[in-house]
């Protein structure tokens, strides 16, 4: 096993605890300048569904600011595109950045410090679960749009027919998966995704894992810490014994749901809308429950979620800040997000939950208040989780290993250790000095 590692910051990047300090090509000492102007043109990059509707709605209600929206690809292709645009001086004024990627963009000086403009908004409108993801090193680097608290989806008709209880603990969840397979040998009560580490990360967060932390002048990397290995061993064992199905998160997963081969799975708040849109003919058969916990007490993590930032080099950051504030904290902005198609988006701003709840058709889930379940999960998110400075490398290493977990050639705890090694190696490549205590 790789010993615990501390990455001592050097070169152009500082630890999040030192993001306020200039260091070579890293973050500026002073807060990034923003123009006081709140008029003019704003360019907006996003891959989030509904972004075009949001831009159009803003333009109708703000005649002094014209937002030009450009759709961009998601995933690493997008983050490479945004990085290159910042380097070339052609960056947009507003861009989406998912929470795991925000520390990297902040530490490398690719986005503006919003402490003086939108920092008070973040402090006033968002709970700690969201603030801890955008307030880094004592400064604000983005404004949260949505949260993604964990929940469990299950086929209530299947559970009722076979007298299976909805699990509240992970021990009970294991029993549930055994009962599901016994009731129907083709059905499973869970999924281990082979192409997305996000759920594993969220469950590690829920268990009390802390993959990254910062000291006075260093990063501590503990991807394979005790709680995370516990989670990995548990899910790896379920997969090895065939109690959950190893599948891609894309079409094979939804096909398994459509065919009744997946009758329960752990996901997040956004899954309710995705499920309803993808499997509309199963209306009335599904329900949502709190995610199981290790001790039966409420605990959660976040599986997904995004923020909006002002890339370094914005031509009109004053107007950009006005746009960001509107799309993240204004009821009309939130209505615009969910105006196109089925969405169970859960706003990071709790005051806006009634807006998205009112727009969601609850009849698919038999009238169940899924937003009540999501709110309880949001309130139960463990504090202290921090994303690392090279999450692209961390996630790539995990995705490389997950299919091997599925075929039994590596263990899931072993995949965490491999990801930790790859993470530290990437830190070294970026000029960080890595030491092992």
CA gap 64, 416 in Å, rounded: 50
Tokens 């009849």, residue located: 363
pLDDT reported for residue 7: 45
For the chain, the average pLDDT equals 89
**For the structural domain made of 31-146+304-348, what CATH number should be given?**
3.40.190.10
Which CATH class, in words, describes the domain spanning 150-209+224-302+392-409?
alpha beta
Q: Give the confidence band of 249 by pLDDT, cuts at 50, 70, 90.
A: low
Is residue 35 predicted with pLDDT exceeding 90?
A: no
3-state secondary structure of 267: strand
List CB contacts of 331: < 8 A, sequence separation 6 or more: 352, 355
pLDDT reported for residue 216: 62
Is residue 211 predicted with pLDDT exceeding 90?
A: yes
Is residue 137 predicted with pLDDT exceeding 90?
A: no
User: Are 410 and 401 within 8 A, CB to CB?
Assistant: yes
pLDDT reported for residue 213: 84
CA-closest candidate to residue 139, choices 51, 47, 305, 26? 26
pLDDT, tens digit (0-9, with 9 covering 90-100), for 74-87: 988 999 999 999 99
pLDDT, tens digit (0-9, with 9 covering 90-100), for 145-155: 999 999 999 99
User: Are 262 and 245 within 8 A, CB to CB?
Assistant: yes
Tokens of 285: 């058969």
Could you tell me the residue ranges of all domains in the chain? 31-146+304-348, 150-209+224-302+392-409
Tokens of 70: 């450009």
Q: Give the confidence band of 236 by pLDDT, cuts at 50, 70, 90.
A: very high
Is residue 158 predicted with pLDDT exceeding 60?
A: yes
CA-closest candidate to residue 156, choices 6, 244, 288? 288
Q: Give the confidence band of 433 by pLDDT, cuts at 50, 70, 90.
A: low
Alpha helices per DSSP H over 98-169? 102-107, 119-125, 128-134, 156-161
Is residue 16 predicted with pLDDT exceeding 50?
A: no
Pairing of strands 94-98, 65-71: unpaired
List CB contacts of 409: < 8 A, sequence separation 6 or more: none
Q: What are phi and psi of 150, to 5 degrees?
A: -70, 145
User: Are 386 and 214 within 8 A, CB to CB?
Assistant: yes
User: Are 308 and 96 within 8 A, CB to CB?
Assistant: yes
């Amino acid at each position: 096993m790789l010993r615990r590692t501390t990455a001592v910051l050097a070169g152009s990047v500082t630890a999040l605890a030192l993001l306020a300090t200039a260091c070579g090509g890293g973050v500026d000492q002073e807060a990034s300048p923003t123009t006081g102007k709140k008029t003019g043109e704003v360019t907006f990059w996003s891959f989030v569904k509904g972004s075009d509707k949001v831009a159009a709605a803003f333009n109708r209600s703000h005649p002094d600011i014209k937002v030009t929206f450009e759709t961009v690809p998601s995933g690493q292709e997008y983050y490479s595109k945004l990085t290159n645009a910042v380097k070339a001086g052609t960056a947009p004024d507003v861009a989406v950045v998912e929470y795991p990627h925000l520390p990297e963009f902040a530490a490398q000086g690719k986005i503006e410090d919003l402490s003086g403009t939108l920092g008070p908004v973040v402090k006033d409108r968002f709970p700690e679960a969201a603030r801890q993801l955008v307030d880094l090193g004592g400064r604000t680097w983005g404004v949260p749009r949505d949260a993604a608290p964990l929940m469990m989806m299950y086929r209530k008709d299947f559970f009722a027919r076979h007298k299976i209880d909805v699990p509240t603990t992970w021990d009970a969840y294991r029993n549930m998966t055994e009962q599901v397979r016994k009731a129907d040998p083709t059905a499973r009560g869970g999924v281990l995704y082979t192409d997305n580490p996000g759920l594993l990360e969220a469950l590690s967060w829920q268990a009390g894992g802390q993959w990254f932390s910062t000291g006075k002048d260093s990063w501590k990397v503990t991807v394979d810490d005790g709680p995370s290995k516990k989670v990995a061993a548990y899910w790896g064992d379920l997969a090895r014994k065939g109690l959950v199905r190893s599948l891609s998160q894309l079409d094979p997963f939804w096909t398994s749901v459509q065919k009744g081969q997946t009758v329960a799975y752990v996901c997040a708040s956004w899954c309710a809308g995705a499920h309803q849109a993808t499997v509309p003919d199963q209306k009335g058969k599904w329900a949502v429950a709190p995610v199981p916990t290790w001790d039966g007490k409420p605990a959660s993590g976040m599986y997904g979620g995004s923020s909006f930032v002002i890339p370094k080099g914005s031509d009109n950051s004053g107007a950009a800040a006005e746009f960001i504030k509107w799309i993240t904290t204004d009821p009309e902005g939130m209505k615009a997000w969910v105006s196109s198609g089925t969405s169970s988006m859960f706003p990071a701003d709790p005051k806006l939950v009634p807006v998205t709840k009112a727009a969601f058709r609850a009849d698919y889930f038999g009238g169940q208040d899924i937003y009540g379940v999501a709110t309880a999960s949001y309130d139960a998110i463990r504090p202290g989780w921090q994303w690392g400075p090279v999450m692209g490398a961390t996630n790539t290493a995990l995705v490389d290993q997950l299919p091997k977990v599925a075929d039994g050639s590596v263990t899931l705890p072993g995949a965490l250790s491999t990801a930790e090694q790859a993470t530290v190696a990437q830190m070294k490549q970026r000029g960080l000095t890595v030491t092992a205590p």
